[in-house]
Amino acid sequence: MNAILLMLLGLGAMFLGYVIYSKFIAEKIFKLDPNFRTPAHEFEDGVDFVPTNKYVLWGHHFTSVAGAAPIIGPAIAVIWGWVPAFLWVVFGTIFFAGVHDAGAIWASNRNKARSIGALTGDVVGKRSQSLFMIVIFLVLLMVNAVFATAISGLLINFPSSVVPVWGAIFVALIIGQVIFRKWMNLGTVSILGVVALYALIYAGPSFPITLPETVFGVSDNAQWILVLFAYAAIASLLPVWMLLQPRDYINGLQLFIGLFLVYGAVLISGPELVAPAFNTNVPEGTPSLVPLLFVTIACGAISGFHGLVASGTTSKQLDKETDLRFVGYFGAIGEGSLSLATIIAVTAGFATLADWQAVYHSFGQGGVTAFVQGGANILQNGLGLDVDLAQTLLTVMAVLFAGTTMDTGLRLQRYIFQEWGNIYNIKWMEKAAPATLLAVGTCLLLAFGAGGADGSGGLLIWPLFGTTNQLLAGLTLLVITTMLVKLGRPMYVTLIPLLFLLVMTIYALLIQLMGFYHKSDWFLFSLDLVVLIAAIWIALESAGVLTRLVRENKATKAS
Amino acid sequence: MKIRAIIDWIKNANAYATEVYNAPYRSAIARAKRDEDDLFMMLVFSELMGVPNPASYYTLELQPLLLERFHQWHLRMGMEHSPLDGFRCC
C-alpha cells in the first residue's frame, strides 16, 4: 500500500473524529457551557490563573504533551505489522485519548482547576489518591531511565548529531538571555534561533563526535547516560527562564517544522509500505500482540501523562469552557498525527522488506533509531536532502524532545521528594539539591539496574513504562466516569475505555511478570509486581465506587 | 497602505509569538518574582516585627506604598487580618 493513502486515511479519520465525535462528547456528555465562569476568570491572579487565547493554549498543551514517547512507542510496535499499530493509534486517538484529554480538562475545570491527583482524593477516595502519587512517581522514574537510554543510543548511532544537540542548548541559553533582557523582539529571535539551530544541524555531519569505547571501564553508552543525567540535574535546578523556557519554545517550532517536513516528503515521494500489514513471521521472543500492543503504544493512542498536563496547567488558563474541545481533543489529535508520521517513517522508510527485517530483528528493536533511519530515507527521496543531514535533523528533533521530558520529569520528581521530606519531616530532603540528587540516583539505579552496567537495557522497561502510563490514564478516566455518574449522564464513553485499559494493562503485566520470572530478572520482577498490585487495586476501587454510585442513583430514582 | 498592513500583520504575529513564549512559564516566573518581592517587603516591615533595620530611615517611606501588597500577602498566607499589632491594613 502507498504511504500517501495511509496518511490520508489516518489524518482523515482523526479529523472526522474531531468534527463528529468530539462534538457529540462536548454537547451531549460534558454539556459544555460557554457561559460557565472558568477558574481562569474566577481566580484570575496573573500567576497561575490567566485566561488565555485558545490557539495559544492549544500550542502550549500540545507541545507539553508531545515528546519522544509518541515516536518510540509506535516505532517499536510496528514489529507486529503496520495495520495493528495504525488502527490502535487512529482509533485510540479518536475514542480514547481525545475523550481522556478533554475530559481531564473538563473535570478539573468544573472543580476549581484542581489537579487530577487532588480530584481523585475528592471524587473517588483518599486511598486512590495515595495510589495516584505512587503511580506518578513510577511513571516519572521510568520515563527518565527510558529516555536517557534512548538518547544515548541515538547519540552513538548518529555521531553527527552530537554537535547540534548540545549546540541547541547553547542557542537556547542565548535566546533566554536575549528575551529576558529585552534586547530583541521575539519574532526576530525566533527566526535567528531557528536559523542558528539549522546551521548547527547542517554543520553536524562535518563534525561527528564519538566517545571513547570505555573510560575507567564505563562503556560509551553508560557515559552518555551519566552525562545526560548530569545535564538534566543542572537544567532542572536552573531558573526556568534561563534554559527551559527558550528551549521549549525552540522545540515547539522544531516539532511543527519536523511534522511539516515528514508529511511533505511523504506527499512528494509517495513511498510504498515495505513492512508487512500483519507480521506473521515475528522474531523469536516477541510477545503476543494482545495485550502488548496496547501498552507499547501509550502516548499517541492514550496516555495518562496528558491528564497531568491537562489538569495541572491547562485547566487554569481556559478562557471559555467550550475551548476545551479544541485544546484537549485537538491536542490529542496533534499527538496522534506525530505517531502516524512515525508509523509511516518506520514502515515506508526502508528500501526492501529485508532491510526492514534487519532492523526489527528482535522485540524492542527499532524504536527511535528506526524512526530516524526511515524518516531520513523519506526526507531524502521527497525533498532531496542528503541522508546524513536528514538523519541529523531527525535525531536532533527526537533528542531535544526526550531531553525536555527528562528534565521536566526530574524537576517533578524532585518536587515529590521535597514533598515527602515535608510530610515525614526530613529536613535535608526538603532542599532542592539533595532532592535532585535522590531523583537522579533512583533513575540511574533503574537505567543500570534494568539492563546491566553498560546501560543498554533501559528500553527493556519500555512496555512496563507504557503499562504504568496507561494505569494513570485509567485513574483519570475513573475520575471522569465517577463525575459523569454523579451528574446522571451516560458513562459509557469513558467507562468502556477504562475497562479496556484495565483489562489490557493487568493482562500485559501478568505476561511480563512471567517473562521476568523465567529470565530470573528479579529487579524488573519486583517493579512489575508493584505496578500489578497498583493496577488490581485501581480495578477494585473502580468497581467499588461505580457500583455504589449506580446503586445510589437507582435508589434516588426509585424513591 | 499595503506596507502598513504588512507591518500590522508582523506586529500581530509577534504578539502571538510572545504569548506562546510566555504562557507556559508565566506562573513559575511570576511565583519566583513574588517570592523576591515578599523578601523585600519583609525587609521594609522588619522593624515592626522587632528586627532592627539599619536602613529604616529610607524604608519608612516605602511602607505606605507596600500596604496593598502587604494586605495581599497576609490573605495569601491564610490570615484574615494583619498579623502585626498596631498595624492595620484592613
ipTM of the complex: 0.71
State whether A185 and B25 contact (CB < 8 Å): no
pLDDT at B88 over 80: no
User: In this complex, which of A50, A64, A244 lies closest to B26 when CB atoms are compared?
Assistant: A50
Residue length of chain B: 90
> Measured between beta carbons, which residues in chain B are less than 8 angstroms from residue A56?
16, 19-20, 23
**Residue A52 φ/ψ, nearest 5 degrees:** -130, 145
**Sequence-distant (≥ 6) Cβ neighbours of residue A558 within 8 angstroms:** none
pLDDT reported for residue A91:
96
Residues 6+ apart with CB under 8 A from A167: A197, A200
* H or E segment and range at residue A300: none
Tally of structural domains, chain A: 1
Confirm or reject contact between B75 and chain A (CB < 8 A): no
A453 pLDDT band (50/70/90 cuts)?
Answer: low
pLDDT band at A415 (very low <50, low <70, confident <90, very high): confident
Q: What is the mean pLDDT of residues A317-331?
A: 95
Chain A residues within an 8 Å CB radius of B72: none
The whole-angstrom separation of Cα A312 and Cα B23 is 14
Give residue A285's region: left, alpha or beta (phi > 0; psi -120 to 50).
left
A552 Cβ partners below 8 Å, 6+ apart? Answer: none
Q: What is the distance of C-alpha A30 from the center of its chain?
A: 25
Q: Which residues of B touch A63 (CB under 8 A)?
A: 24
Q: Which amino acid is at A482?
A: T
- Which of B19, B34, B72, B76 should one mutate to test binding to chain A, selecting the residue with the greatest count of A CBs within 10 A? B19
Instruction: Check pLDDT > 80 for residue A450.
Output: no
Q: What is the pLDDT of residues B21-79, one digit of tens each?
A: 888 888 888 888 888 888 888 888 888 778 888 888 888 888 888 888 888 888 888 88
Tell which residue, A101, A99, A135, has the closest CA to residue A117. Answer: A135
Q: Are A360 and A281 in contact (CB under 8 A)?
A: no
pLDDT band (50, 70, 90) for residue A75 = very high
pLDDT confidence of residue A451: 67
Q: In this structure, what CATH number is given to the domain that contains residue A495?
A: 1.20.1740.10
Residue range(s) defining the domain that contains residue A403:
3-558
Does pLDDT of A343 surpass 90?
yes
Here the cell at position A470 is 496507561
User: Is the pLDDT score of B86 beyond 70?
Assistant: no
* B10 close contact with A: CB closer than 8 A: yes
Looking at residue A294, its amino acid is F
Q: Provide CB contacts within 8 A for A366, sequence distance 6+.
A: A75, A76, A78, A79, A346, A359, A360
Q: Looking at the predicted structure, is the pLDDT value of residue A102 above 70?
A: yes
CA nearest neighbour of A82 among A370, A288, A275, A342 = A275
Q: Could you tell me if A60 and A314 are in contact, meaning their C-beta atoms sit under 8 angstroms apart?
A: yes
Ordered alpha helix ranges (H), A110-161: 116-119, 126-157
d(CA A174, CA B41): 32
The pLDDT score that the predictor gives to residue A278 is: 92
My answer on whether omega of the bond before A271 falls inside 30° of 0, hence cis, is no
Coil vs helix vs strand at A110: coil
Whether A480 has a pLDDT exceeding 70, the answer reads yes
User: What average pLDDT does the segment A420-428 reach?
Assistant: 82
Q: Which three cell numbers stand for residue A267?
A: 506527499
CB contact under 8 Å between B26 and A240, yes or no, is: no
Cross-chain residue pair B27–A48, CB shorter than 8 Å: yes
Task: Check residue A147 and give its pLDDT.
Answer: 87
- Output the pLDDT for position A124: 84
Nearby residues of A498 by Cβ (< 8 Å), 6 or more positions away = A474, A477, A478, A481, A542
A21 pLDDT exceeds 90?
Answer: yes
Alpha-carbon radius of gyration of chain A: 23
Give the residue, A30 or B54, on which the prediction is more confident.
A30
Q: Which of A65, A190, A248, A250 to mutate to test the interface with B (most CBs of B within 10 A)?
A: A190
Q: What would the 3-class secondary structure string for A428-491 be?
A: HHHCHHHHHHHHHHHHHHHHHHHHCCCCHHHHHHHHHHHHHHHHHHHHHHHHHHHHHHHCCCCC
Is A249 in Cβ contact with B21 (below 8 Å)?
Answer: yes
Mean pLDDT of chain A: 89
Task: Count other Cβ atoms within 10 Å, centred on residue B80.
Answer: 8
Cα separation, A165 vs A430, in Å, equals: 33
B76 inside 8 A of chain A by CB = no
φ/ψ of A425, rounded to 5, equals: 60, 45
A343, A468, A530 from A349: Cα distances, Å? 10, 31, 39
At CB < 8 Å, which residues of chain A contact B? 46-48, 50, 52-53, 55-57, 59-60, 63-64, 179, 185-187, 190, 239-241, 244-245, 248-249, 252, 313, 316-317
Q: By the 8 A CB rule, do A255 and A337 touch?
A: no
Nearest CA in chain B to A250: B21
Are A314 and A87 a contacting pair, CB within 8 Å?
no
| Res. A493 pLDDT band, cuts 50 70 90 | very high
Would the pLDDT of A330 be above 90? Answer: yes
C-alpha cell at A130: 495515595
pLDDT band at residue A342, thresholds of 50, 70 and 90?
very high
Residue A498, pLDDT > 90, answer: yes
> Which site among A248, A249, A411 would you substitute to test the B interface, given the most B Cβ atoms closer than 10 Å to its Cβ?
A249
| Assigned C-alpha cell, A408 | 521536566
Nearest C-alpha of chain A: how many angstroms from B17?
A: 7
Distance separating alpha carbons of residues A225 and A145, to the nearest angstrom: 9
- B19 with A47: Cβ contact below 8 A: no
Residue whose C-alpha cell is 537510554:
A149
CA distances for B1 relative to A116, A267, B4, B6, B10, angstroms: 52, 38, 5, 9, 15
Q: Which letter does DSSP use for residue A20 in this model?
A: I
Closest by Cβ to B29, choosing from A55, A187, A240: A240
Q: How far is B12 from chain A (nearest CA, A)?
A: 10
pLDDT for the residue A293: 93
CA–CA min distance A127, chain B (Å): 28
Asked if A474 and A538 touch (Cβ cutoff 8 Å), the reply is yes
pLDDT in the model for residue A454:
66
Q: Looking at CA atoms only, how far is residue B59 from chain A in angstroms?
A: 27
CB A333: neighbour CB atoms within 10 A?
24
> In 3-state terms, what secondary structure has residue A521?
coil
Inform me whether the C-beta atom of residue B77 falls under 8 Å from chain A C-beta atoms. Answer: no
| Residues B34, A241: C-beta atoms closer than 8 Å | no
CA distance A413 to A303: 18
Task: Give SS3 for A272.
Answer: strand
The answer to whether A492 and A99 have CB atoms below 8 angstroms apart is no
> Which chain A residue has its CA at the smallest distance from B76's CA?
A45
Mean pLDDT of A209-236: 84
Residue A162's pLDDT is what? 93
Enter the C-alpha cell of residue A340.
502516524
Give the one of B16, B21, B30 whose C-beta lies nearest to A47's C-beta.
Answer: B30
Q: Residues A115-122: what's their mean pLDDT?
A: 87
- Rounded Cα gap, residues A343 and A345, in angstroms: 5
**In chain A, which residues have their Cβ closer than 8 Å to the Cβ of B27?**
47-48, 50, 313, 316
Look at residue A457 and tell me whether its pLDDT is greater than 70.
Answer: no
Percent with pLDDT over 70 in chain A: 99
Q: Which carries the bigger pLDDT value, residue A301 or residue A219?
A: A301
Residues of chain A positioned with their CB less than 8 A from the CB of B33: none
- Here the cell at position A88 is 490502535
Residue A193 Cα, gap to closest chain B Cα (Å) = 13
For the cut 70, the answer to whether the pLDDT of residue A456 exceeds it is no
The pLDDT of residue A329: 96
Residue A404: which pLDDT band, with cuts at 50, 70 and 90? confident
Chain A positions in Cβ-Cβ contact with residue B35 (cut-off 8 Å): none
What contacts A263, CB < 8 A, 6 or more positions away? A7, A341
Poorest-pLDDT segment among A87-96, A161-170, A252-261: A252-261
For position A505, what pLDDT does the model report? Answer: 93
Higher pLDDT, A401 or A36: A36
pLDDT digits (tens, 9 = 90+) for A501-540: 999 999 999 999 998 899 888 888 998 999 999 899 888 9
Closest CB to B14 among A47, A187, A239: A187
pLDDT score for A103 = 96
- CA separation (Å) from B70 to A109, A192, A281, A397, B34? 30, 43, 71, 47, 12
A557 and A542 in contact (C-beta within 8 Å)? no
The answer to whether the beta carbons of residues A440 and A229 sit under 8 Å apart is yes
Over 80: is that where the pLDDT of A216 sits? no
Answer yes or no: is pLDDT of A41 > 70.
Answer: yes
- How do residues A302-316 score in pLDDT, each as one tens digit? 999 899 888 888 999
B6 touches chain A (CB under 8 A): no
When comparing pLDDT for A219 and A270, which is higher?
A270
Q: Is the pLDDT of residue A460 over 80?
A: no
Q: Is B64 on the interface with A (CB under 8 A)?
A: no
Domain limits, chain B:
2-76
How is residue A161 written as a grid cell? Answer: 548529531
List, as one string, the DSSP characters of A153-219: HHHHH-GGGHHHHHHHHHHHHHHHHHHHTT-S-HHHHHHHHHHHHHHHHHHGGGS-----SEETTEE
For position A473, what pLDDT does the model report? 94
Spatial contact of A364 and A328, defined as CB atoms under 8 Å apart: no
Q: What's residue A84's pLDDT?
A: 95
Residue A557, SS3?
helix
Instruction: Tally the residues of chain A.
Output: 559
- The residue of B9, B10, B27 whose CB has the most chain A CBs within 10 angstroms, and thus the best one to mutate to test that interface, is B27
Average pLDDT of the segment spanning A178-185: 85
User: Among residues 16-45 of chain B, which lie with CB inside 8 Å of chain A?
Assistant: 16-21, 23-32, 34
Residue A105 has pLDDT above 70, yes or no: yes
